[in-house]
Structure 1
Amino acid sequence: MAKGGIKFKDSAAAYERLAADVAARRFAPVYLLMGEESYFIDALCDRLAATILDESQRAFGQITVYGRDTEAGQVINLCRQMPMSGDRQVVIVKEAQQMRGLDKLSLYTQQPSPTTVLVLCHKEKSADKRSAFYKGAAAHGAVLESVRPRDYEIAGWLAEHLRRQGLAADGKALSMLTDHLGTDLSKIANELRKLLVSLPEGTKRITDADIEANIGISKDFNNFELCKAVLARDMERSLRIAAHFARNPKDNPLLLTVMALFGQFRQLFLLNYLRWQSRHKGLPFPPDGELMRILRLNNPYALGELKQAAGEWPNRKVFAILGLLREYDAKSKGLNAGGMSDGELLRELLLKIFLL
């Protein structure tokens, strides 16, 4: 969670709201786009740059400067100028966090020009909310605070992102994308754009075969299939997938695999604990809809697999496995790895899990 209680879902909702305003040509005089997650900042800036002025006006009415090459006084002067063509001009400041004297922009944000749209892209961190600069932007313009997602939030965001484009994706296809690409929204969106261009016209649902054919992620050898094999206690298949990972280490980093396994065993731990509460404390066992919310699942089929396998993984084992995964998370980052490769570490980890 970011300072001020902003969560990733809040950032995503704010982005969609502002994007809808841009599409309806409801423009604010100042946009402060700030935070650690650059995807929403870049995407909204691009929308504004392509929408406010038409193509013939941009050459004279739209200027982009960079924070490291300018200072607040210069930006204010640009914003106070009258438009050279039309009734509006656009000033875009990229990497605004590097600007000298950024706080002095409060002289402008507290009284912005009605004929200028100022777009400030403030990356890496959020601006100080106590500053007059921020308060002016919030009072007289629009602020987007963009926070980074947690790994479990990616699948839901991606499913909604596809829905807005009239598409859906199978649960396995979503898992293949998120497990392989991590939490980098820009990377995910870029791969998704390439995928959508490659799909046959009229496609409404993305499958694991589409992911394999167009992005190059194997539909048989990926973290989704590894987690499924481990859950089913299929040691042979698990080690076969691990061997494939060892032959293709760049496409299958150990850190992402450990994160995927940790997420699955965390879900098992919670599911077992809820069952224990139901049996020993008389608390009602949650219905499937509530379970999916608690376990952060978006696929009823995955919930069914977890419930079916939970009996094979009592919490005394799950707790020990979570400890192992924390240990190998550190090893995947080079701590006490003993010079072992990712493939060797993964094989060792899986054998320890199955031998518990």
Structure 2
Amino acid sequence: MFRRVFPVKNGESAARILAFYKDVCYNTAMKYVDFRKFTDENGAQSVYLFEGEEAYFRDGGVNLLLGRFVADKTLDYATFEGAALKNNKNAFVSACASYPFLSERRLVRVTEWYPTEKEYESVLKPVVDNPAPGVTVAIVNAAKTKNGAAKLSAKKGITVVDCGKSDEQTVVKWIFLTLKRAGVAADAATCGRVAEYCVYDMSRISKETEKLILYCLAKGEPLSDTIVDEIVYPDSAYKIYELSNALAAKNAEKFERIASELFTKGFDENALISSLCSYFRTLYEVSTASGSEKEIAANLGMNEYAVKKNRRQAGETGRKKVYECYEYLFSALGRIRSGALTAGAAFKEAKAKLLLGD
């Protein structure tokens, strides 16, 4: 087929022609976790699209470009808001045509820009087709696309970086690679522990990973579960997950230990009952929902990791038990609000009923 479309000379293979065709006609797309390696191997590109709901990834991509290629942000870094471009197209076009002063590249950032097809053709396409030497444009969008907007990710010549919420494997890979680049050894299980303690929140994961790198380098040790437990305090949402597991398993000792930890972190009895009630309600909703994890996450306003975790936990606990816990805790909250019980008394009663009862 490719021999009919492209003239093949000197024994060039159809596979080579196909590679050339893809290179010319399609965007280079990648997950954010692979962006640093891509930049190491390919340098700066002319036009990027960082798109997806994970703000840490979007900002991280731009910051990597700034750190690598822009020596003077005052002179060689221009920023625009997409909404403002409606009345400020000339300033953007001018910025894209200006050579860098003191840096390897001039970076032009546009945030939340969803041009129509007409705007793409008149404003962005000339920049994509004929980029100025030494100029890089970074379009940074939280949404993949919007009604009436051109699909930028499908446009030739734009390097697309997927900044969507990542699955467990991708987040663990990011932690592992970040540690490795810093010279800290770790295994996947320990990296997963960090991610779970941070409830897969990339903003917090980034900060905790930096702390772990400094600690391990100072100690001259690889990252271990013991170090993670010492340095990274589990997010309160993760603690509620552990607390609900202890409650469902009727493990009174573990329940008391975790509850005591949460009391030192600003929780009181009313807050714990309320958090557990909300958690078991979500567990029940996830257990009864149909559809893929991605669809359920979108419908319930959760991330896919949480849906996957809740499905697994609800399956292990049993839907009936999950509902009974939710129903009882909801009733306990009602009695607290009506004045029938104090929060302390309701908490003791809930422990007796759910930990010791049938």
TM-score category of the 2 structures, normalised to the smaller one: 0.5 to 0.7
Q: Does 1:195 align with 2:212?
A: yes
Structure 2 residue aligned with 1:46: 63
CA shift, 1:191, in A, is: 2.0
Change in Cα spacing, 1:80 to 1:338, as seen in structure 2 (3 Å) is farther
d(CA) in 2 for partners of 1:350, 1:43: 48
Change in Cα spacing, 1:296 to 1:101, as seen in structure 2 (3 Å) is closer
Structure 2 residue aligned with 1:33: 50
CA distances 1:221-269 after superposition (whole Å, capped 9, x unpaired): 9457646645654223323422432343459985876798899999999
Q: Does 1:160 align with 2:173?
A: yes
CA shift, 1:186, in A, is: 1.0
d(CA) in 1 for partners of 2:275, 2:186: 24
d(CA) in 2 for partners of 1:198, 1:84: 39
Aligned partner letter, 2:62: C
Note the residue ranges of structure 2 that are not aligned, 5 or more in a row: 1-28, 289-306
Change in Cα spacing, 1:245 to 1:89, as seen in structure 2 (3 Å) is closer
CA distances 1:146-166 after superposition (whole Å, capped 9, x unpaired): 3235xxx44x34432232123
d(CA) in 2 for partners of 1:354, 1:259: 21
Structure 2 residue aligned with 1:119: 138
Change in Cα spacing, 1:18 to 1:158, as seen in structure 2 (3 Å) is closer
Aligned partner letter, 1:31: Y
Contact 2:49–2:161, Cα closer than 8 Å, also in 1: yes
CA shift, 1:73, in A, is: 3.5
Change in Cα spacing, 1:27 to 1:268, as seen in structure 2 (3 Å) is same
Structure 2 residue aligned with 1:242: 259
Aligned partner letter, 1:185: M
Matched residue of 1:119: which SS? Answer: strand
Q: Give the TM-score normalised by structure 2.
A: 0.60
Aligned partner letter, 1:320: K
Q: Does 1:63 align with 2:75?
A: no
Equivalent pairs counted in the alignment come to 288
Identity %: 15
CA shift, 1:120, in A, is: 1.6
Change in Cα spacing, 1:137 to 1:246, as seen in structure 2 (3 Å) is same
Change in Cα spacing, 1:85 to 1:72, as seen in structure 2 (3 Å) is same
d(CA) in 2 for partners of 1:32, 1:346: 54
Structure 2 residue aligned with 1:320: 320
Aligned partner letter, 2:253: E
Change in Cα spacing, 1:346 to 1:183, as seen in structure 2 (3 Å) is farther
Aligned partner letter, 1:162: I
Change in Cα spacing, 1:100 to 1:129, as seen in structure 2 (3 Å) is closer
Q: Does 1:348 align with 2:346?
A: no
Match of 1:141 among 158, 171, 187: 158
Aligned partner letter, 1:352: L
Larger Rg over CA atoms: 2
Match of 2:146 among 110, 119, 128: 128
Aligned partner letter, 1:238: F
CA shift, 1:110, in A, is: 1.6
Q: Give the TM-score normalised by structure 1.
A: 0.60
d(CA) in 2 for partners of 1:15, 1:326: 38
CA shift, 1:193, in A, is: 1.1
Contact 1:33–1:122, Cα closer than 8 Å, also in 2: yes
d(CA) in 2 for partners of 1:35, 1:64: 19
Matches within 5 A, 1:291-302: none
Matched residue of 2:146: which SS? Answer: coil
Matched residue of 1:205: which SS? Answer: coil
Match of 1:107 among 110, 118, 122: 122
Contact 2:325–2:354, Cα closer than 8 Å, also in 1: no
CA shift, 1:342, in A, is: 11
Structure 1 residue aligned with 2:112: 96
d(CA) in 1 for partners of 2:195, 2:349: 22
CA distances 1:261-309 after superposition (whole Å, capped 9, x unpaired): 899999999xxxxxxxxxxxxxxxxxxxxxxxxx969xxxxx9xx9xxx
Note the residue ranges of structure 1 that are not aligned, 5 or more in a row: 1-11, 270-294, 298-302, 307-312
- C-alpha RMSD of matched pairs (Å): 4.9
Change in Cα spacing, 1:171 to 1:83, as seen in structure 2 (3 Å) is closer
CA shift, 1:217, in A, is: 4.7
